[in-house]
Structure 1
Amino acid sequence: MQYRDFGKTGIKVSAVGFGAWPIGGEAYGAVDGKEALRALAVAEELGCNLVDTASVYGVSQEILGEFLQGRRQKWILASKYSGQKDGLLATLQQQLSILKTDYIDFYQLHWVPLQHQRHLYDELYAVKKSGLVRFVGVSLKNSLDIKYVLNNTELDGFQMPMSLLDPAAFSESISLIQRKKPAVLVKSSLRQGFLTGKYNANSRFTDPCDQRSKMSEQAIQKILRQVEAFRFLENDREPMTLSAARYLLSFPEISSVLMGCKSRQQANMNFAQVLERVLSNAELAKIKKQQQKLNLFPNIFLRLARNIKAHLRG
């Protein structure tokens, strides 16, 4: 396992982190709790020391609460406040109880607050000062959010979606990230599992516990067409998953790439095989060429307009 600086916090995190949404049972189908515990144990054995969860991730917190007993000091635990009506502090206290711990290492807002919600930043700073959390951040969506957070808050870092199919927000923000040096967690690294390469135009998602069952057929087919442009990254020995993760790891500004898994086999792939090699300059150049062909780096002014509209919608 490789370890990277978690922004300017002084701690090191594994380059690949454990994304706990899938083990919650409400994102990618039902979960075997015992197998989820075994997957976490494999991740730990392979050097993973970062896990990210949230109270809206099904039973993931309960599973983690059981797993972390006797090994809490080995892990950097990240979680989120997702807007529960009880408020941030009460929600945090409930999470601490479920997770069976007295602190969370990295506590995030699950969205960038709108103007009338900016008091939530002060609430984050307060729970950090109290010692209930060590570092604070936010989960965001686009380059406008990144710019606002890095220029107007005292947060320690943020979490953002990024993948082979979603390079633009990071690309547009990289110079600011390099200058400010925040902790950066990447989520949706496999674009809802589509970048595993396992799916094609005939794939169907019928499990109501699979978030993809709620996507329109048009949206699914668009993603699958984009995925086809990156088939050159897979072969008989290596699925697309590995190169999709290695692409993200090629950016040193990223602190950790979150990857979800529900089994020991997936854990071995995510926390061992991914790190067996790095992508060559030729592979990275071909990836960028394909991204440009797919217009994944759209006109900056068009993206800015879209970002502003998304920000206003919250």
Structure 2
Amino acid sequence: MEYRDLGRTGWRISAVSFGAWAIGGDVWGRTDDAESLRALHRAVDLGVNFVDTADVYGDGHSERLVGRLRRERREEIIVATKAGRRLNPHVAAGYDRANLTAFVERSLANLGCDAIDLLQLHCPPGEVYEMPEVFGILDDLVTAGKLRFYGVSVERVQEAVRAAEYPNVQSVQIIFNMFRLRPAEEFFPVARARQVGILARVPLASGLLSGKYRADTEFAPTDHRTFNRRGEAFDVGETFSGVDYARGLEAVEALRPLVPNGATMAQLALRWILMHPEVTATIPGARDAAQVEGNVHALDLAPLSAQTMARVGEVYDQYLREAVHPRW
């Protein structure tokens, strides 16, 4: 396992970590808790020491599974969770002291701990980034011992840049993968200058970059890849990274010749992300131990060549830039 510095926290976290959205069992189809726990334990066995979850993943179910993992292991496991999306309506005015404190207390109970390692605002409305009082509330929660550190999860590059201006933001979680190149162009230099950690989420574009899907692949009715392709439930960028499914399949086929012998498309996609030194960790999801092993073994791939990196950019320009780049 490779470990990288997370912001200015002093933590070194696993470059391939564990994203716990899918095990929440709400918008990824059916899950099995026993299988999910085996996946979590296998991740720790392989050196993963960072897990990312949220209070809305399965209405707290994901947090409770992660809390159980920590009770069952002796290793240090750093847990990041998120707050804000429980608001209904989800508006900037809801990011007040009472609501944020209540969200934190609920997550503390779900996780079974006294302090949250890293709390992230969960893709808040854009206006929140212009509300310094919100970040002041987070500072107060750190002082009170409820949080160790905090960061943000964002939808758009401009939000990441603005969030990084707040002095105590330690990390920014942002969609970054071979279908989303804009963060590297506009945000990564800012993060490097301010020593802000980057958590690359949706690294496999909701599975498109696994190379396993076809035009006739069907997903469960409760899976967001069925019901959110046009953003009916939440930001369309969360589903297949906002890429049109058919167009995404074409891009995958253009990328497939880059996969090294003995590797998978998913491993290539993860290794590509980690070629960017500004990225602290990528947080692919996994619902079973085999998926965990496949993700972690992306680190076994040799560094990608300059030609491979350039070809990824060419595929992006040809198939995706016009539709994706201006939006996020």
- How far apart are residue 131 of structure 1 and its match? 1.4
Q: Distance in 2 between matches of 1:246 and 1:297?
A: 25
Amino acid at match of 2:107: Q
Q: Distance in 2 between matches of 1:76 and 1:234?
A: 32
Q: Distance in 1 between matches of 2:322 and 2:50?
A: 30
Q: Give SS of 1:193's match.
A: helix
**CA root-mean-square deviation:** 2.3
What TM-score, normalized by structure 2, do the two folds share?
0.85
2:63, 2:111 within 8 Å by CA — same for their partners in 1? yes
| Identity value in percent | 31
- Written as runs of structure 1 = structure 2, the 5 A alignment for 1:20-59 is 20-58=20-58, 59=61
Going from structure 1 to structure 2, the CA distance change for 1:208 and 1:173 (only over 3 Å counts) comes to same
Q: Give SS of 1:7's match.
A: coil
Q: Distance in 2 between matches of 1:248 and 1:236?
A: 19
Could you tell me which of 151, 165, 170 is aligned with 2:165?
151
Q: Distance in 2 between matches of 1:251 and 1:236?
A: 22
Could you tell me which of 153, 172, 186 is aligned with 1:172?
186
Q: Distance in 2 between matches of 1:121 and 1:208?
A: 38
- How far apart are residue 226 of structure 1 and its match? 2.5
Q: Distance in 2 between matches of 1:39 and 1:298?
A: 35
Q: Which residue of 1 aligns with 2:222?
A: 209
Q: Which residue of 2 aligns with 1:76?
A: 78
Which string of whole-angstrom CA distances, capped at 9 and with x for unpartnered residues, describes residues 66-117 of structure 1?
Answer: 1110437611100000243471111111111111111111101002444368
| Farther-moved stretch of structure 1 (19-28 vs 235-244) | 235-244
| Farther-moved stretch of structure 1 (181-190 vs 224-233) | 224-233
Q: Distance in 2 between matches of 1:120 and 1:9?
A: 20
Going from structure 1 to structure 2, the CA distance change for 1:224 and 1:121 (only over 3 Å counts) comes to same
Going from structure 1 to structure 2, the CA distance change for 1:174 and 1:298 (only over 3 Å counts) comes to farther
Going from structure 1 to structure 2, the CA distance change for 1:294 and 1:172 (only over 3 Å counts) comes to farther
- Written as runs of structure 1 = structure 2, the 5 A alignment for 1:131-150 is 131-150=145-164
- Written as runs of structure 1 = structure 2, the 5 A alignment for 1:95-114 is 95-114=107-126
Q: Distance in 2 between matches of 1:236 and 1:155?
A: 40
Amino acid at match of 1:122: G
Which string of whole-angstrom CA distances, capped at 9 and with x for unpartnered residues, describes residues 109-143 of structure 1?
Answer: 00244436823222211111111111101101222
Q: Distance in 1 between matches of 2:144 and 2:291?
A: 37
1:291, 1:297 within 8 Å by CA — same for their partners in 2? no
Could you tell me which of 128, 133, 138 is aligned with 2:142?
128
Q: Which residue of 2 aligns with 1:311?
A: none
1:6 equivalent to 2:6? Answer yes
Could you tell me which of 50, 62, 65 is aligned with 1:63?
65
Which string of whole-angstrom CA distances, capped at 9 and with x for unpartnered residues, describes residues 233-292 of structure 1?
Answer: 336732200000000000111111001001110111112x11112322222122122222
Which string of whole-angstrom CA distances, capped at 9 and with x for unpartnered residues, describes residues 10-51 of structure 1?
Answer: 110000110000111123221111111111111001100000
Which string of whole-angstrom CA distances, capped at 9 and with x for unpartnered residues, describes residues 146-186 of structure 1?
Answer: 22112245311110001110111232222212211101111
1:294 equivalent to 2:322? Answer no
Q: Distance in 1 between matches of 2:139 and 2:223?
A: 35
Going from structure 1 to structure 2, the CA distance change for 1:115 and 1:7 (only over 3 Å counts) comes to same
Q: Give SS of 1:245's match.
A: helix
Going from structure 1 to structure 2, the CA distance change for 1:157 and 1:34 (only over 3 Å counts) comes to same
- How far apart are residue 227 of structure 1 and its match? 2.2
Q: Distance in 2 between matches of 1:50 and 1:230?
A: 29
Which string of whole-angstrom CA distances, capped at 9 and with x for unpartnered residues, describes residues 183-218 of structure 1?
Answer: 11110000011110011112122x123110113489
Q: Which runs of 5+ in 1 are unaligned?
A: 308-314
Q: Distance in 1 between matches of 2:49 and 2:22?
A: 18
How many residue pairs get aligned? The number is 301
Q: Distance in 1 between matches of 2:287 and 2:320?
A: 33
Amino acid at match of 1:160: I
Amino acid at match of 2:49: N
Amino acid at match of 1:276: D
Amino acid at match of 1:106: L
1:228 equivalent to 2:253? Answer yes
- Written as runs of structure 1 = structure 2, the 5 A alignment for 1:156-305 is 156-205=170-219, 207-216=220-229, 219-234=244-259, 237-271=262-296, 273-277=297-301, 278-296=303-321, 303=326
What TM-score, normalized by structure 1, do the two folds share?
0.89
| Farther-moved stretch of structure 1 (112-121 vs 136-145) | 112-121
Q: Which runs of 5+ in 2 are unaligned?
A: 88-97, 231-242
1:113, 1:120 within 8 Å by CA — same for their partners in 2? no
2:85, 2:124 within 8 Å by CA — same for their partners in 1? no
2:179, 2:205 within 8 Å by CA — same for their partners in 1? yes
